[in-house]
Amino acid sequence: MERLDRLDRLEAVQSMLLDIGQLSTSCSDITAFIRAVHGALGRIMYAANFYVALADHEDGTVRFPYFVDEIDGAPDPLERIRLASPDQSPTAWVLLNRQRLVLTAADFNERHRKAAGRWGNGSTPEHFVACPLLDQNQQALGAIVIQSYSAEQTYSEEDIALFGLIANHVSNALQGLQSMDRLERAVSARTAALAHEVAERGRAEKIQHALYEIADLSAQALDTDQLSASLHRIIGGLMVADNFLIGLYHERTQEISIPYFVDQKDSAPPLLRFPFGKAMCSHILATKQAQLHDVASFRALVDAGTVAEPLGSTEIASWMGAPMLVNDQPYGVIVVQSYDPAIVYSKADLDLLAFMASHVAVAIARMQADRRIRKTKEALEQQNAALNDALHALQEAQSELVRQEKLASLGRLVAGVAHEINTPLGICVTATSHLVQELKLTREELAAGEMTAESLESFFDIVDQSLRIMTTNTQRAANLVRSFKQVAVDQSSDDIRSFNLGAYLNEVLLSLHPKLKGRPVKVAVDCPPDMMLDSFPGAVSQILTNMVMNSLVHGFEHEQAGNITLRAALGSDGWVVMEYADDGAGMDAATLDKLFDPFFTTRRGTGGSGLGAHILYNLVTGALGGTVRATSAPGQGLTYQLRFPRSQRKEKLAA
């Protein structure tokens, strides 16, 4: 009979071990699994007092997911308890030593005596059996314990051996269950983290979109009402803002205005404009700090006198205010409040409102700056228009004066040439009259029969002499006319033509002979005879004329002897290098700096127009496309250095 009972028990143990294996694959909850193990264990041995402790080596804690005891109460299965030392707890001894522990009541009492106190927190059992739950690396997963408070119910060696066997199978099952549990917890934690991340990302996207809208508002020319309504809509998309206020600070008048006000209790603000120092708006701007209040803290500020003359209803559930600051300069305040106890703002809401207020302040500052810039721009445009009109009128007047100066120069040339031609033509007229008179006398002498060989020979001599005089003077007049014609045409024309520079310079000087005549000033030209130019001869003529006239008017007194030298050559870069120099009076540095300025002259009212050198400069740098530089010193004369392209046709093609 005893053998039959033993076989039945072995079958029950085998069945239990099979159940443990099946439960480890079908059960996902550790507590449910241990409860099933407890039920099966109770069928093969006394298990009225049973618990399992699981260790967490990362944080050094232990928890009791399953605890059944006839005397002691069960701890919270989720509570993590700091693991005691082996000298303080039998469970800790098993976990840390990773060995089986079997104790009787006498053993416990001896331990209590040696420890001078209780060993463990529970009641003292009659018999205590604990086995470690070890993983494949022989690390303690936890401990499994059975105990009895009755002397009639103790455990035999066979019971203890079976319990150790069961503990091994439970250990194997727990490894898989804990791995699954850790995986599920990791998945849950990751899911929660992802949900939080998605929520935060959505919140961040909303904030970013709100900031973009605020920045876009600053670029639009909106009035205050449109701007305020848009800001209310943007901030209302981030938090509950059924009661919303914008206050603007006016530094010059030390006042606060309320351009926008939406409230569930008041249809309009108590004051549209009030002195700085009143109401919560002033308090926020004075402290320059965002603040969050409930009704109690709000009233405390009023009672303490910190907030003077609060405006509007004070029956609030939650109130937030944030200053609009840029570089510590106040622009205003944004207020959001709630009358509903279900809507209470948090510190996160306050931080968000303060963040948005700072960006709104930047937008307002930018709009104000843009408004000032637009006004300044409009004023500058009006001034520029007036200046352009004045400049245009001045340029027209200057162009007219330059044209008149050119015509006057041409007129002086005509007058000089006319005077110069008058002499050879007068001689021709005199010679012709004398020849006519001699011819009349000769005819009369021939008609009277008084003609002699000597008188005829005398007549022929007179004719020959008169013709030579007439030929010489007519050629001289023709040369003057030809030179004048070419120079006059060139000065009045802007056409490019090919010409010999040396010959042309001499022609221009010939046309200036009337101005040089009677003046003890010698002009010398040094120019290669074969230097051909494709350029504007009129510009060259005008330049040389102005330089010579400036020397005669400003460089030399009327009876003062002097020298003018004109040299021309080709530079290494193929440009014409021309140097004009006189040894006249010269000029100081201050006068030299203004030489090319229009209407600057040292002989105002005595023949100086102030345009000669200015026209010279414009012709060299404009028409000829070159450069001009002047050097001078008092008593050292004046020198012009000119550089310009040899061919203007190439320059025009390149352009």
Lowest-confidence segment of 373-382, 419-428, 565-574, 592-601 by average pLDDT: 419-428
309 vs 490, which has greater pLDDT?
309
Residue 401 pLDDT grade (very low, low, confident, very high; cuts 50, 70, 90): low
Assess contact for 353 and 239: CB atoms under 8 A. yes
Q: What is the pLDDT of residues 224-260, one digit of tens each?
A: 778 888 888 988 888 899 999 999 999 999 999 999 9
Note the pLDDT of residue 2: 44
> What sign results for the dihedral spanned by CA atoms 263, 266, 271, 276?
negative
Give the pLDDT confidence score for residue 413 in this predicted structure: 55
pTM greater than the 0.75 cutoff: no
Which burial class, exposed, middle or buried, applies to 170 when counting CB atoms under 10 A from its CB (0-12, 13-18, 19+)? buried
- Mean per-residue pLDDT for 515-544? 89
Q: Is the pLDDT of residue 149 over 80?
A: yes
Which DSSP string do the residues of 14-32 spell out, in sequence order? HHHHHHHHHHHHH---HHH
CA–CA distance, 166 with 306 (Å, rounded to integer): 74
What's the confidence (pLDDT) of residue 52? 94
| Of 143, 334, 310, 319, nearest in space to 235 by CA | 334
pLDDT band (50, 70, 90) for residue 145 = very high
| Residues 108-133: tens digit of each pLDDT | 888 888 776 778 888 999 999 999 99
Pairing status of strand 140-148 against strand 532-535: unpaired
The answer to whether residue 651 scores a pLDDT higher than 90 is: no
99 or 222, higher pLDDT = 99
Q: What is the mean pLDDT of residues 426-452?
A: 81
pLDDT of residue 610: 66
Which of 128-137, 438-447, 462-471, 608-617 is modeled with the greatest confidence? 128-137
Is 219-345 a CATH 3.30.450.40 domain? yes
Q: Tell me the mean pLDDT in the region 596-624.
A: 75
Beta pairing partners, 630 = 640
Higher-pLDDT residue of 418 and 265 is 265
Band the pLDDT of 424: cuts 50, 70, 90: confident
For residue 578 the two structure tokens come to 């021309």
User: Quick one: pLDDT at residue 392?
Assistant: 85
Distance CA 257, CA 246 (A): 9
Q: Where are the domains of the chain?
A: 2-186, 219-345, 494-654
Q: With respect to CATH, is domain 494-654 assigned 3.90.1150.10?
A: no
pLDDT for 1: 34
Residue that wins the pLDDT comparison between 154 and 489: 154
Of 160, 102, 153, the closest CA to residue 128 belongs to 102
Q: Is the pLDDT of residue 171 over 90?
A: no
pLDDT tens digits, one per residue of 303-328: 888 887 788 777 889 999 999 999 88
256 closest CA partner among 343, 315, 203, 331: 331
Residue of higher predicted confidence among 183 and 564: 564
Distance, in Å, from the CA atom of 33 to the CA atom of 130, rounded to the nearest integer, reads 19
Q: How confident is the model at residue 637 (pLDDT cuts 50, 70, 90)?
A: very high
Q: What is the largest CA-CA distance in the chain?
A: 210
Q: Are 344 and 317 in contact (CB under 8 A)?
A: yes
- Identify the CATH assignment for 2-186 out of 3.30.450.40, 3.40.50.300, 3.20.10.10, 3.90.1200.10: 3.30.450.40
Give me the percent of the chain exceeding a pLDDT of 70.
87
Strand partners, 324: 332
pLDDT bracket for residue 3 (50, 70, 90): very low
* Separation between Cα atoms, residue 72 and residue 123, nearest integer Å: 7
∠ CA 531-535-536, rounded to 5°: 125
Say if residue 87's pLDDT is above 70: yes
For residue 408, the model assigns a pLDDT of 62
2-186 and 494-654 agree in CATH topology: no
